[in-house]
Amino acid sequence: MNHPAVSVIVPSYNAARTISGCLESLQRQSSPEPFEIIVVDSSSDGTAQLVARRFPDVRLYAFADRKFPGDARNLAVTQARGEILAFIDADCVADPDLVAQIVRAHRAPRPAIGGVVDNANPRSYVGWASYFCEFSQWIPRSAPRRMTEIPTCCLSLKRWAFDTYGPFREGTYCSDTAFQWKLGRAGYPPLLIPSIKVSHVNQNRLGSFLSHEPYHGRAFAVVRTSERRLTRRCRLSLVALSPLLPLLLYFRMARGILENRRYVKEFLVTSPLVLLGLVGWSLGEVLGYLSTSGE
């Protein structure tokens, strides 16, 4: 395949449990345009060997040192041949027409287009709480709309947009958030198109969920401080207001879910754990603001 229209990029870290489902869903795509699949793996659980054995047509780049998602995506882009860069994560399953929908959407000039994220493990109570904490803004909806950001597990870019506003920040989580803030400031906020959809395999162990939220919140605060150039006074103000943050995030989440009229029952049932996750995120943000230096 010399000239794929789309390069589907999959960053992978210790994803032996989920990556087969991801790659199988990509190989089943009903796309009218040729596409390639690129996996950048830095696992210690045998993921690279699994991919090499079971998916020989996938372009695999394996590294012994840990690569954050932004680092892995940057590496993949340097090897990608498509003019459309489509990102999905190793713990996601693509809808059968994902690539076709991405190609169709990119016929318009908008450079950044993403989709919705559904819950791939709906039988897990912890999974639902994790899903709401991570993806409540991108629950399947009925109307396209502009967003501040879209999860990179369901985001696509025209190559010129990455070349102009990239690369992703490296060595941290939330690099996709920082990148999309840059796009927004340039007048190119991502467009959400609900016909583009992946399903995400969420955290289903309580300990993993409770440890992930503070880590993610801290990474967000550090990236936000750098990208928004928050002063020390501003950061301390955010710290002082942090006790209100879990409730603010919860009610914002609840309003969106009620307006969407989807997964309302699941949200109400898991609300105690959702709130606990939001408390963890908020504590992480506080630690992030306090750990950064500068005026």
Confidence of residue 293 (pLDDT cuts 50, 70, 90): low
Q: Where are the alpha helices (DSSP H) in 61-196?
A: 69-79, 98-105, 125-135, 159-165, 175-185
The class (CATH top level) of 6-200 is alpha beta
Average pLDDT of the chain is: 95
In this prediction, residue 111 carries a pLDDT of 97
In this prediction, residue 1 carries a pLDDT of 57
Q: What is the pLDDT of residues 183-201, one digit of tens each?
A: 999 999 999 999 999 999 9
Phi-psi region for residue 132, left (φ > 0), alpha (ψ -120 to 50) or beta?
A: alpha
Direct distance between the N- and C-terminal alpha carbons of the chain, in angstroms, rounded to an integer = 52
Residue that wins the pLDDT comparison between 89 and 141: 89
Quick check: 245 and 252 in contact, CB under 8 A?
no
Share of the chain above pLDDT 90, in %: 94
> With 60 as the cut, is the pLDDT of residue 294 above it?
no
In this prediction, residue 142 carries a pLDDT of 74
Q: Which residues contact 3 (CB under 8 A, 6 or more apart)?
A: 34, 81
Rounded to an integer, the average pLDDT of 18-30 is: 97
| Strand, coil or helix: 150 | coil
In this prediction, residue 83 carries a pLDDT of 96
Residue of 1, 42, 39 whose CA lies nearest to 20: 39
Rounded to an integer, the average pLDDT of 114-125 is: 97
Domain residue limits, the chain: 6-200, 206-291
